[in-house]
Amino acid sequence: MYSTIFKRLIDFVAALVGLIFISPLFLVLITLLSISNNGKPFFYQLRAGKNGRLFTIIKLKTMNDKKDANGELLPALERVTKIGNICRKYSLDEIPQLLNILKGDMSLIGPRPLLPEYLELYNEEQSRRHEVMPGITGWAQINGRNAITWEQKFEYDVYYVNNQSFLLDVKILWLTFYKVIKRSDINSSETVDMPMFTGTKSKNE
């Protein structure tokens, strides 16, 4: 009942109220990022959601598009702007994902939505992470985020799938706020600091 009805209702109301409440800060960040990123305050990327359905995730753009002498983008960490670094430290770049929640693409709590090319790399157990709506934060995020391996992340994701409940969501949300304030675990981007997932090797390899 909770996961099929009440969770979506809570998500929608919380996202709407959250956007209204933080709209002044949101507008300031959009203005500053527009200046530092040549009029491009948002970052859009295709991600895989529930049941593998693709959607476009929206984040604040924390990196510029500077290129080297060969016309190639500079390494990601070299392109993080000053205001972008602040956004990443306090997870402010995730604010636009409240729009994804209102659209029905995401939830507040759930496995992080990852790149579509990973879909064919998951083993059967890992692919179960797509049985629920992806979230802005989740069980893996409060248990190490980029300090743990992909395999450990997916184990946490499947744990959430198997144990999803209102109380677990409240616990995850509370610990997320706690870690953001402490700038612990939640302050790095999965698109910048983590190596690409290339699949899990079998124990016999």
In this prediction, residue 167 carries a pLDDT of 96
Measured CA to CA, the distance from residue 153 to residue 134 in angstroms comes to 13
Whole-prediction pTM value?
0.87
Asked whether the beta carbons of 47 and 23 are under 8 A apart, the reply is no
Measured CA to CA, the distance from residue 141 to residue 125 in angstroms comes to 19
Place of tokens 């693409």: 105
In this prediction, residue 178 carries a pLDDT of 87
Nearest to 60 by CA among 181, 146, 161, 86: 86
In this prediction, residue 205 carries a pLDDT of 43
In this prediction, residue 179 carries a pLDDT of 83
Please give the structure tokens belonging to residue 87.
Answer: 């956004």
Per-residue pLDDT of the chain (205 residues; tens, 9 = 90+): 898 889 999 999 999 999 999 999 999 999 999 998 989 999 999 999 999 999 999 999 999 888 888 888 888 888 999 999 999 888 899 999 999 999 999 999 999 999 999 999 999 999 999 999 999 999 999 998 777 899 999 999 999 999 999 999 999 999 998 887 776 654 445 445 578 898 887 544 4
In this prediction, residue 193 carries a pLDDT of 58
Sorted by sequence, the CB contacts under 8 Å of residue 191 that are 6+ apart come out as 45, 76
In this prediction, residue 202 carries a pLDDT of 58
Measured CA to CA, the distance from residue 109 to residue 149 in angstroms comes to 20
